[in-house]
Amino acid sequence: MAANMRLSISLLQLALIPLEASKFTPIPQRLRFWKLPASLNTAIFHTDFGSLAAADFDTNYPASLEFLCEEGASLSIATGFLTNMDYIEELKFTNCDLGGIPAAAFSGVGSLDMLSFENGTVSSMSDDMLDGVIIRRNTSSTPAFPKHNGAFKMVNTKYTGTFPPAVFANQKVYEVVLRNTNLFNVDAGLFSSAPNVRYLDLSYNSFSELPEKILTDLSKSLGVIRLYGTDIQCTCDKLWFLDHVTSNYLTLEGDIVCVNTGAEWDGIALVGACLTPIDIVGYAVGFIGFVLGWVVLGLTDHTRRQMNGVAGNKKPGTKKKAPAAKQPDV
């Protein structure tokens, strides 16, 4: 069996924890656990996982670990449950209701190319949640497996707490995706200690303004910001980022709708300005008037040319000669 094969294992069917790497065939390079217990509060991997030879891995795939919960199932995790797993590059939680994530929750993995939460819930996160782990870009030319550029992702994961402002402190995270996570506000200092973020996705959240400091802290690194499905308050100070994006040559992606508090739809953010319905109607009427003006001008010019053409066909001072009288037959 190839080392790149993903091993799917039911934890409820395994009597012995911690698991021993020596009992896995093939080598446990890519692991997915399902039918999980309600809590993982102790080290679930034997010390022999810490001595796996990366040279035996298939270089077309990263070493990965995924916890796949049944939809809506709760999973409580404790500090140290990933001890001896410092060889993995990707860590993912899918469909899990994680509750609160404690300090140093992932300390056993050392460093990661991607940490991902998808289709679940998180009630709170400790400021020190990432203590003992570094999310960083894997820039080595080998192995050749696809790399995620140091990504932290929360996608379709309902977050009910306040996103801790220091969670990325001292991280080397390059890509941050907080998409459809129920965020009602974004802390201004979220990236003050992690200035290397190149790609930022805050789409489909509930905040109505973006603090200015969040982008100025990333002024030397940020290249792309995504804000799909985002309703921003329609005031000049709330739309500051439009000018910032233009002046700093950033790529802004998203169907940003400009709204006023309590209004259903009050305008659209476009070309560095907030256009209200009155503005849009005024511009539309002006454009229509502009087009009609050119149409009238064109018709007038066309009519004038036709009249000049008819007049030019007549030569002044000439008359038609009467036909000669017919001579009688002799």
For residue 292, the domain's CATH number is 3.80.10.10
Which of 86, 112, 140 is the C-terminal boundary of a domain?
140
Indicate if 201 and 285 belong to the same structural domain: yes
155 within domain boundaries: no
Domain containing 8: what range?
A: 1-140
Number of domains, the chain:
2
Indicate if 207 and 270 belong to the same structural domain: yes
| pTM of the predicted model as reported, rounded to 2 decimal places | 0.77
pLDDT in tens, the chain (330 residues): 455 567 787 776 556 788 999 988 889 999 999 988 889 988 999 999 999 988 888 888 899 999 999 887 999 999 999 999 999 999 999 999 999 999 999 998 999 999 999 999 999 999 999 999 999 998 877 677 778 889 999 999 999 877 888 899 889 999 999 999 999 888 888 888 888 899 999 999 988 888 888 888 888 899 999 999 988 877 777 788 888 888 888 999 988 777 765 544 455 555 555 565 556 666 677 788 888 888 888 888 778 887 776 666 555 555 555 555 555 554
Indicate if 194 and 107 belong to the same structural domain: no
SS (H, E, C) the chain: CCCCCEEEEEHHHCCCCCECHHHCCCCCCEEEEECCCCEECCCCECHHHHHCCHHHCCCCCCCEEEEECCCCCECEECCCCCCCCCCCCEEEEECCECCEECCCCCHHHEEECEEEEECCEECEECCCCCCCEEECCCCCCCCCCCCCCCEEEEECCEECCCCCCCCCCCCCCCEEEEECCCCCCCCCCCCCCCCCCCEEECCCCCCCCCCCHHHHCCCCCCCEEECCCCEEECCCCCCHHHHHHHHCCCEEECCCEEECCCCCCCCEEECCEEECHHHHHHHHHHHHHHHHHHHHHHHHHHHHHHHHHHHHCCCCCCCCCCCCCCCCCC
325 within domain boundaries: no
Indicate if 136 and 2 belong to the same structural domain: yes
14 within domain boundaries: yes
306 within domain boundaries: no
250 within domain boundaries: yes
165 within domain boundaries: no
154 within domain boundaries: no
